[in-house]
Amino acid sequence: MIISIMSDSHDNIWNLRKAIALIRKANSQMIIHCGDFVAPFMLKELETAAIPVHGVFGNNDGDQYLLTKFSYTALKNITLHGIIGELDICGFKIAFAHHNIMAEPLSMTNKYNLVCFGHSHVYEQKNIGNTLLLNPGEIMGKDGFATFCLVDTDTLKVELVNLK
């Protein structure tokens, strides 16, 4: 299964739209967002991908109540997990958080195949034991290139996608 990993969209609706178009083209079947959506209208944009979207809160997601309410009442594909998310996709275990200070310890437990995080806006990929620790960079494009990742859960191959 191909899944998309993204973070730090920070209300950049134009880059999020570009990312969703590329996600559709890649036949990705799920999006994991590692926080900092910022406003609820970004969740509405993510909903247009028409695939399951799992997210966690970041430090710039100010109105977590409104984001959560919107995801439960107006959107059918968005699931917000709080500050740490966990998924099991046919035995492929994923954890995700916004901050590396939470993600790195999760990767050290050897419970997960993939642990994702954001916050730094910088792409990072490293193996910790049998776990891949991944920061997809930022959708926003403020601190450099706007990027996200496609991950094949069968091969653990990661493709960094630059929105240019």
pLDDT per residue, tens digit, the chain (164 aa), is 999 999 999 999 999 999 999 999 999 999 999 999 999 999 999 999 999 999 999 999 988 998 999 898 889 999 999 999 999 999 999 999 999 999 999 999 999 999 999 999 999 999 999 999 999 999 999 877 999 999 999 999 999 999 98
Beta strands in the chain (DSSP E): 2-6, 30-33, 53-55, 78-80, 84-89, 92-97, 114-116, 123-128, 131-136, 147-152, 158-162
CATH of domain 2-162: 3.60.21.10
For 27-58, write each residue's pLDDT tens digit: 999 999 999 999 999 999 999 999 999 999 99
Q: What is the number of alpha carbons within 13 Å of residue 155 lying toward its C-beta?
A: 7
Looking at residue 138, what DSSP letter applies? B
| Nearest residue to 131 (alpha-carbon basis) of 161, 95, 102, 99 | 95
Q: Where are the domains of the chain?
A: 2-162
